[in-house]
A = this chain, B = another copy of it.
Amino acid sequence: MPSYAAPTKDMQFLLHDVMKVSASDIPGYSELEADFTSAVLDEAGKLATEVLAPLNPVGDQQGCTLENGVVRTPDGFKGAYDQMRAGGWMGLDMDPEYGGQGMPYLLGTAVGEMFVSANMAFNMYQGLTHGAASAIHVHGTDVQKATYLPNMIEGRWSGTMNLTEPQCGTDLGLIRTKAEPQGDGSYKITGQKIWISAGEHDLSENIIHLVLAKIPGGPDGVKGISLFIVPKFLVNDDGSLGARNAVSCGGLEEKMGIHGNATCVMNHDGATGYLIGGMHKGMRAMFTMMNEARLGVGLQGYAQASVAYQNALGFARDRLQGRDATGAKNPDGPADPILVHPDVRRGLMAQKSFVEGARALVFWGAQMIDASHRKKDAEAEAMISLLIPVIKGFLTDKGFETCVLAQQTLGGSGFTREWGLEQYVRDARITMIYEGTNGIQSLDLVGRKLGLHGGKAMMAFFELIKTFTKENETHAALKKEFLNPLKSASKDLQSAVMYFMQNAKSPNNALAGSYDFMHLFGHVCLGLMWAKMARASYAALEAGTGDAEFYHSKITTGRFYMTRQLPEIATHLARIQAGAETVMELSAENF
């Protein structure tokens, strides 16, 4: 059976050596002293390793069941959910006014990584609640906030997002679900939603659905979409649960992974709903939640890779097969551990260097979200908006790839259910699809974010790299191993932007290169993260503080990334510069 160990040391390194969070002027960050974050991470790690991780294969194998409209989650999920509630984890970074603990989103992100690594399908129940509660927090009226938030933040009630319909996933303008005004301020919602994660289950006392629907007579397309609160049980004025609403689960989807999470067909049969965020302003209300939701999916990508890597490494240390080509390392045993073999190490270093680089990127992203919310930092807001499609698209593609690589480390054992690696692969696969497929992320990046405010955020990113390299190039080792390749990677990214600008006569030239651009950009981000981690590691080594082996290992891992992963950029740039011609040439019949 697979196991999970909380990566507290790596997280502490990021928060304190690299990001120096407690010295930040973002409101709330001064509380994030090393002792405090260490205590929180240790507690979260215990819950993750002891309670959630053992339920991961259980959830996969049992899945959810639907009987007479009731969805049952796998054995043990309810108990784990109650433990998570009791620990106050669900409100860790939520508003204290409604019962949250008011911690920075960054800390919630670190804790969230552990829960996702341990049991992604399980953690989705509370993750979706978090998203729905955030939407109500930003867009709800005071009454709506008072009605729903305290119970959601406590985990007594859970939440969902109801967007997709059979005829529309990406193209929400095609939504058919209707919302008819009832004259009393409420609406009757009618329509079918599909692929609703955590749409129905037995973990919470009530489920608060956020539903996209169209009010008849409104504008066509996305401009006529509004957002509604549709509770499973209506809530009485005194806050107690009232009548069962006309929203129900019509079926569970059979799918490749995340079997522990109920993916529901939700039928709204004239269900009572309450408008939130203004008439026809549903897309805007949805989009303000998008950054966090997509950062969360990027996190899922590398969090699955993280636990997959841990198990691959454990296997490689134990499994005896073959001999080191330069001489036996375990001469008294029947063979050497496979960790001696260069090709096995190549796979493991690729896994390790991705996971640690990705974590740094997501933590940085969470910090920018904090800066944007807590400090009203418009530059941080613009930068994270630019990076969100990269974080979501690149980290989930690479997260899945890393799980596949980890599975490969185990050879035949990787294909068996017993070792658990194949579940990580199946579960990680969804992250490339939901919350906007990665193709959609790349379109958002190239079609929207790149040119936003005259390309200001993109220029700020290049400026950031320039400043960072300039500030640090007196350090010879850092310069040679990290800053030079980073500068060259950033130059390639600039060449790609230039290509798009020079070939803008047809939008297809940019659109055909968007996916490769997202990956190229992702590599530059991870290159920057590794340069930052290397700088912090050199500084600690030179100061003689902490665990020297740990810092040496960081530098080596970073050098692996710079010399062996960053070169993927060459491929992406060549593809971008190949343009749209061969992509667009064939007629539909000639494929």
Chain B neighbourhood of A433, CB < 8 A: 408, 411-412, 414-415
| A255 and B508 contact, CB distance less than 8 A | no
Within 8 Å by CB of A343, from B317, B322, B511, B590, lies: B511
Q: How large is the interface on A (under 10, 10 to 19, 20 to 34, 35 or more residues)?
A: 35 or more
A392: interface (CB < 8 Å): no
| B169 and A256 contact, CB distance less than 8 A | no
Measured CA separation A425–B439 after assembly (Å): 19
A23: interface (CB < 8 Å): no
B-contacting residues, A372-408, CB 8 Å: 400, 404, 407-408
Helix, strand, loop or mixed for chain A's interface?
A: helix
Measured CA separation A412–B567 after assembly (Å): 31
| A322 and B571 contact, CB distance less than 8 A | no
Chain B neighbourhood of A320, CB < 8 A: 167
> Can you tell how many copies of this chain the complex includes?
2
Q: Per-position contact with B for A402-438: 1 when CB-CB < 8 Å, else 0?
A: 0010011001101111100010011001101110011
Measured CA separation A505–B493 after assembly (Å): 37
Measured CA separation A394–B359 after assembly (Å): 30
Select from chain B the residue with minimum beta-carbon distance to A339.
Answer: B588
Chain B neighbourhood of A589, CB < 8 A: 549
B-contacting residues, A554-584, CB 8 Å: 556-557, 559-560, 563-564, 567-568, 570-571, 574-575, 578, 580, 582-584
B-contacting residues, A504-558, CB 8 Å: 506-508, 511-512, 514-515, 549-550, 552-553, 556-557
| A422 and B575 contact, CB distance less than 8 A | no
Chain B neighbourhood of A248, CB < 8 A: none
Select from chain B the residue with minimum beta-carbon distance to A442.
Answer: B343
| A168 and B418 contact, CB distance less than 8 A | no
Interface stretch of the complex, out of A24-32, A94-102, A278-286, A344-352: A344-352
Measured CA separation A347–B516 after assembly (Å): 11
Within 8 Å by CB of A415, from B321, B429, B574, lies: B429
A36: interface (CB < 8 Å): no
A142: interface (CB < 8 Å): no
Chain B neighbourhood of A588, CB < 8 A: 317, 337, 339
Q: Per-position contact with B for A429-467: 1 when CB-CB < 8 Å, else 0?
A: 110111001110011000000000000000000000000
| B560 and A583 contact, CB distance less than 8 A | yes
Instruction: Given A507-B326, A567-B574, A568-B571, answer yes or no on A345-B584 (Cβ-Cβ < 8 Å).
Output: yes
Measured CA separation A552–B586 after assembly (Å): 9
A171: interface (CB < 8 Å): yes
A253: interface (CB < 8 Å): yes
A342: interface (CB < 8 Å): yes
A341: interface (CB < 8 Å): yes
| B560 and A415 contact, CB distance less than 8 A | no
| A346 and B195 contact, CB distance less than 8 A | no
A19: interface (CB < 8 Å): no
Instruction: Given A254-B418, A511-B342, answer yes or no on A553-B590 (Cβ-Cβ < 8 Å).
Output: yes
Measured CA separation A584–B342 after assembly (Å): 7
Instruction: Given A321-B171, A429-B415, A575-B564, answer yes or no on A343-B255 (Cβ-Cβ < 8 Å).
Output: no
A18: interface (CB < 8 Å): no
Instruction: Given A508-B325, A568-B571, answer yes or no on A164-B317 (Cβ-Cβ < 8 Å).
Output: no
Q: Per-position contact with B for A252-268: 1 when CB-CB < 8 Å, else 0?
A: 01111100000000000
| B342 and A508 contact, CB distance less than 8 A | yes
| A580 and B342 contact, CB distance less than 8 A | yes
Q: Per-position contact with B for A495-506: 1 when CB-CB < 8 Å, else 0?
A: 000000000001
| A412 and B195 contact, CB distance less than 8 A | yes
| B556 and A582 contact, CB distance less than 8 A | yes
Within 8 Å by CB of A582, from B349, B443, B586, lies: B349
Instruction: Given A342-B511, A422-B256, answer yes or no on A171-B322 (Cβ-Cβ < 8 Å).
Output: yes
- Kindly provide the distance from the CB of A170 to the nearest chain B CB, expressed in whole angstroms: 5
Q: Per-position contact with B for A224-255: 1 when CB-CB < 8 Å, else 0?
A: 00000000000000000000000000000111
A34: interface (CB < 8 Å): no
| B556 and A168 contact, CB distance less than 8 A | no
Measured CA separation A341–B511 after assembly (Å): 8
Chain B neighbourhood of A332, CB < 8 A: none
Q: Per-position contact with B for A312-325: 1 when CB-CB < 8 Å, else 0?
A: 01000100111001
A585: interface (CB < 8 Å): yes
| B411 and A170 contact, CB distance less than 8 A | yes
A185: interface (CB < 8 Å): no
Within 8 Å by CB of A426, from B326, B347, B426, B580, lies: B426
* Besides A342-B514, A563-B574, 14 other A-B contacts (C-beta < 8 A): A171-B335, A254-B416, A254-B417, A325-B508, A342-B511, A342-B584, A343-B442, A347-B439, A411-B437, A560-B583, A563-B578, A564-B574, A567-B578, A570-B571
The 5 closest A-B pairs by CB, nearest first: A567-B574, A256-B422, A342-B511, A254-B417, A570-B570
**Could you jot down 25 A-B contacts, CB within 8 Å?**
A164-B412, A169-B321, A174-B321, A174-B334, A174-B335, A195-B412, A255-B416, A255-B417, A256-B425, A325-B511, A339-B591, A342-B583, A342-B584, A343-B443, A343-B511, A345-B512, A346-B583, A408-B437, A411-B433, A411-B437, A415-B429, A415-B433, A560-B583, A564-B575, A568-B571
